[in-house]
Amino acid sequence: MSESTRNADVLIIGGGLSGTMLAVQLLRLPGARRILVIEPRAELGRGEAYSAVELGHTLNGNAARMSVDPDNADDLTQWLTDYIGAGGWPESDQQHVPISELFPPRGIFGLYAQQRLAEAIALSTSTVEHIRAEAVDLQVDATSALLTLDKGEQLRGTCAVLATGMFPAARTPQTESTGLNAAALDPWDVQAMTQLDPHSTVLIIGSGLTMVDAVVSLEQAGHRGPIEVFSRHGLLPHVRRQPPSWEDFLAANHRLRSPRQLLREVRRQCRLALEQGIDWQAPLDTVRSHIARLWSQASEAHKRQFVRHVRPWWESHHHRSPPLSAQLVARLQREGRLRIRAASFKGLVPSDDGVAIAVRLRGEQGLTHISGAALINSSGIEYDWRRVARPLPQQLLKRGLIQPGPLALGIAADACGAVLNAHGQVSPRLFAMGPPLRGMWWESTAVTDVALQAKALAAKLTQN
């Protein structure tokens, strides 16, 4: 160990929502610990998702669904009540709903997470320090984890946690050869979009929630031209509504296991709801709490079947759009300004002006070239760490400290979050939580999922 190496009890790699929630849970436990959070951004608690500054970029879940406190489902509602009462977010009254049903802007949600961290720090005998740097390498032995930062500094911890969050495809090249991201605008960069001709054509790859955010960004930038969206299945996220409660039909029937069985039963339940005049989202929402169990119990063949045949519809029906954003998308479709086409993106093509792409439209054999003034990559999240062009994932793989998770989704770990190395051995010093565990639990990105993982992992780490 060099003299410059700093020591800690816990190294948290990533200071977005996942890392911040873990820090909060560690601070709430008895004892005095030194916690270092390694995050290159200027602020903790925001990460990729909650660094947005535009009010139009909102959560896709209402306040009642987005508490960071696993012991208090109303925590965000209570915080928002105080925040709005003190004069914050005056635009909230435009949604005309109770506070629990509001869809807060992402930036305000980030402020909420930051305040909960500050409160936990004030009440704890443990300490948290933000190390503003990027982790680029990690070594693990039987007694500790040694982390190397981009400027050469090293940190040693009794344990380390990969709380890296998501690697958006919009900012992480899938391959170095496509050049897609180099040519594409950031979906959340409203300022860059103001530089476009407001009547020009904009091309978007992908039709999920990132596309919805991109459309909001274009609207706020003053863009009024055509928007051409291309995605493999041409599916839009459904709008999130607030349906009444529905019987938890999966709780009483654990015999439903295969994707085909589940799909049939979910469809049957949705038809029953519609026949009773109840929103189909009501029975679908009951499935959410069973996903981790169902996924972990499924065979690899069933998991592949789900990803291949069900995933696009699961994503569009479950990962729904906030109402105001959905209204904007629907209006632009009615006006003929926004068109969604089922097509596979095949690459960039040379263009003397703006950008041009090659796509294969559904039902056609040949390629079609489409031109526009700008291109936005909204193709979602890159979960395969072998394709993430960042130093730390590459080094972890090179050193054999991690292995890909099921179906190459995230990384492999045991039920407690202890990472499996390339030989399948459970690490006593390296853990993971949140999006890196996508392959283990399928849904490992929602706030409530991550909050529960943070509480359980904090308890695990303090037992060691």
User: What is the domain-level CATH number for residue 26?
Assistant: 3.50.50.60
Question: Within this chain, do residues 233 and 201 fall inside the same structural domain, yes or no?
Answer: yes
> What's the whole-number average pLDDT of the chain?
91
pLDDT of residue 3 exceeding 90, the answer is no
Question: Within this chain, do residues 12 and 113 fall inside the same structural domain, yes or no?
Answer: yes
Residue 48: per-residue pLDDT: 82
Q: How far apart are CA 250 and CA 237, in angstroms?
A: 24
Question: Within this chain, do residues 61 and 145 fall inside the same structural domain, yes or no?
Answer: yes
Residue 354: per-residue pLDDT: 87
- Confidence class for position 179, pLDDT limits 50, 70, 90: low
Q: How far apart are CA 276 and CA 159, in angstroms?
A: 53
What does the block give as tokens for 108?
Answer: 């305000």
Question: Within this chain, do residues 361 and 416 fall inside the same structural domain, yes or no?
Answer: no
Residue 352: per-residue pLDDT: 81
pLDDT of residue 171 exceeding 80, the answer is no
Q: How far apart are CA 318 and CA 280, in angstroms?
A: 11
- Confidence class for position 84, pLDDT limits 50, 70, 90: very high
Residue 47: per-residue pLDDT: 87
Question: Within this chain, do residues 394 and 425 fall inside the same structural domain, yes or no?
Answer: yes
Question: Within this chain, do residues 28 and 146 fall inside the same structural domain, yes or no?
Answer: yes
Candidate from 53-67, 248-262, 366-380 with smallest mean pLDDT: 248-262
Residue 182: per-residue pLDDT: 61
Taking alpha carbons only, the member of 285, 213, 210, 276 closest to residue 242 is 285
Q: How far apart are CA 345 and CA 368, in angstroms?
A: 10
Residue 379: per-residue pLDDT: 84
- Confidence class for position 176, pLDDT limits 50, 70, 90: very low
Residue 168: per-residue pLDDT: 76
- Confidence class for position 341, pLDDT limits 50, 70, 90: very high
Number of domains in the chain: 3
Q: Residue 248 falls within a domain, yes or no?
A: no
Question: Within this chain, do residues 209 and 340 fall inside the same structural domain, yes or no?
Answer: yes
Question: Within this chain, do residues 50 and 97 fall inside the same structural domain, yes or no?
Answer: yes
β-strand pairing of 34-38 with 127-131? parallel
Residue type for position 141: D
Containing 23, the helix (H) or strand (E) segment is helix 17-28
Residue 180: per-residue pLDDT: 62
Question: Within this chain, do residues 347 and 220 fall inside the same structural domain, yes or no?
Answer: yes
Residue 200: per-residue pLDDT: 95
The mean pLDDT value for 284-290 works out to 90
The mean pLDDT value for 439-451 works out to 90
Residue 256: per-residue pLDDT: 77
- Of the residues 343, 377, 411, the one at which a domain ends: 377
β-strand pairing of 368-372 with 135-140? unpaired
Residue 175: per-residue pLDDT: 40
pLDDT of residue 391 exceeding 50, the answer is yes
Three-state SS annotation for 109-124: HHHHHHHHHHHHHHHC
Q: Residue 78 falls within a domain, yes or no?
A: yes
Question: Within this chain, do residues 422 and 302 fall inside the same structural domain, yes or no?
Answer: no
Domain assignment of residue 285, given as a range: 259-318
Q: Residue 249 falls within a domain, yes or no?
A: no
405, 422 in Cβ contact below 8 A? no
Residue 463: per-residue pLDDT: 87
- Confidence class for position 385, pLDDT limits 50, 70, 90: very high
Question: Within this chain, do residues 34 and 161 fall inside the same structural domain, yes or no?
Answer: yes
Q: Residue 250 falls within a domain, yes or no?
A: no
What does the block give as tokens for 187?
Answer: 């979906």
pLDDT of residue 170 exceeding 60, the answer is no
314, 263 in Cβ contact below 8 A? no
In 330-355, which positions are buried (b, 16+ CB within 10 angstroms) versus exposed (e)? eebeeeebbebebbebeebeeeeebb
Question: Within this chain, do residues 136 and 32 fall inside the same structural domain, yes or no?
Answer: yes
